């Protein structure tokens, strides 16, 4: 995971609040919350990374259990728009879960992972658990695990590879198949309540 300051504490707090507001708005109105670049510039000026074209994932947890996670690896849209869209998708459109309810949303903790660039990994021994996220790809199969996932589950290096293959819909030992492509990435990860710790 990235440790450098992509976003300031104030920007992280705003991003977390933005994700939650987007979820509440969709729950009440069944449509996406309106927000524009002008709104972001009014708060942070023109230089903020919230206006940069960056992918992100938004995860929801209740009692440390995953309740939804959706994201974009790359994006031509501004980060703030991806946060709004992916928060709603994670809460209401993740096919693994029913749409989140008002009471669940009140309990849920939100986590945002801002994506760094993908890099093709030719030597799987170079993958570092806790630093790298991982994408496995073969033909039309593709799966992604964020860098914090193997840490949360206390996975070994090999288990991380196996689980990424399974996420892609491939056999767990597909990491030994030279036709499977692996890509690493790093991410800036922050949760609600953590933004003030810097």
Domain-located, residue 3: no
Task: Give the domain CATH number at 31.
Answer: 3.30.700.20
Domain-located, residue 123: yes
> What are the residues whose beta carbons fall under 8 Å from the beta carbon of 55, sequence distance 6 or more?
71, 72, 73, 74, 75, 82, 114, 115
Residue 39 has pLDDT above 60, yes or no: yes
Q: Are residues 87 and 170 located together in one domain of the fold?
A: no
- Averaged pLDDT for residues 71-90: 96
Domain-located, residue 4: no
Q: Are residues 166 and 95 located together in one domain of the fold?
A: no
Q: What is the pLDDT of residue 55?
A: 95
Q: How far apart are CA 75 and CA 71, in angstroms?
A: 10
Q: Are 82 and 75 in contact (CB under 8 A)?
A: yes
Q: Are residues 85 and 23 located together in one domain of the fold?
A: yes
Domain-located, residue 100: yes
- Mean pLDDT of all residues belonging to the chain: 94
Q: What is the pLDDT of residues 135-153, one digit of tens each?
A: 999 999 999 999 999 999 9
Q: Are residues 78 and 145 located together in one domain of the fold?
A: no
* Residue that finishes a domain, picked among 115, 133, 151: 115
Q: Are residues 13 and 111 located together in one domain of the fold?
A: yes
Q: What pLDDT band is residue 5 in, cutting at 50, 70 and 90?
A: low
Number of domains in the chain: 2
What domain range is 170 assigned to?
119-185
Q: What is the pLDDT of residue 91?
A: 98
Q: What is the pLDDT of residue 189?
A: 94
Q: How far apart are CA 121 and CA 125, in angstroms?
A: 9
pTM of the model: 0.92
Q: What is the pLDDT of residue 73?
A: 93
Q: How far apart are CA 81 and CA 41, in angstroms?
A: 13
Q: What is the pLDDT of residues 40-66, one digit of tens each?
A: 999 999 999 999 999 999 999 999 999
Q: Are 22 and 84 in contact (CB under 8 A)?
A: yes
Token duo for residue 42: 């009014």
Domain-located, residue 126: yes
Q: Are residues 27 and 107 located together in one domain of the fold?
A: yes
């Amino acid at each position: 995971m990235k440790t450098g300051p992509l976003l300031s504490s104030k920007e992280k707090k705003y991003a977390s609040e933005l994700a939650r507001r987007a979820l509440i708005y969709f729950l009440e109105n069944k449509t996406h919350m309106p927000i524009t670049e002008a709104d972001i510039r009014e708060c942070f000026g023109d230089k903020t990374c919230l206006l940069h074209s960056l992918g992100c994932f938004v995860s929801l947890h209740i009692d440390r259990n995953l309740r939804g996670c959706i994201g974009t690896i790359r994006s031509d849209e501004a980060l703030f728009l991806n946060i709004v869209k992916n928060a709603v998708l994670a809460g209401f459109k993740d096919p693994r879960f029913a749409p989140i309810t008002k009471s669940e949303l009140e309990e849920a903790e939100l986590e945002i992972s801002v994506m760094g660039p993908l890099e093709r990994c030719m030597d799987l021994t170079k993958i570092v658990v806790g630093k790298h996220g991982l994408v496995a790809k073969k033909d039309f199969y593709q799966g992604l695990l964020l860098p914090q996932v193997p840490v949360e589950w206390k996975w070994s290096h090999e288990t991380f590879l196996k689980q990424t293959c399974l996420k892609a819909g491939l056999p767990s030992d597909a990491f030994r198949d030279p036709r499977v492509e692996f890509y690493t990435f790093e991410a800036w990860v922050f949760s609600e309540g953590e933004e003030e710790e810097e």
